[in-house]
Amino acid sequence: MSQAEQTLISLLLPEGILDYFELTQVDKAEKMLNIYLEEKNIAPEGYDKKDLESKGFFPEVGIQDFPIRGQKVA
Buried b / exposed e along 8-27 (16+ C-beta atoms within 10 A): ebeeebeeeeeeeeebeeee
Domain containing 22 equals 3-41
Contact 17, 65 (CB under 8 A): no
Taking alpha carbons only, the member of 3, 26, 12 closest to residue 65 is 12
How many structural domains compose the chain?
1
pLDDT tens digits, 1-60: 678 877 888 888 888 888 888 888 888 887 777 888 888 888 777 777 677 777 777 788
Residue 63 is assigned to a structural domain of this protein: no
Q: Are strands 21-29 and 32-39 parallel, antiparallel or unpaired?
A: antiparallel
| Residue 68 located in a structural domain | no
* Cβ–Cβ < 8 Å for 42, 20: yes
In a domain, residue 8? The reply is: yes
pTM, entire model: 0.65
Say if 49 falls within a structural domain: no
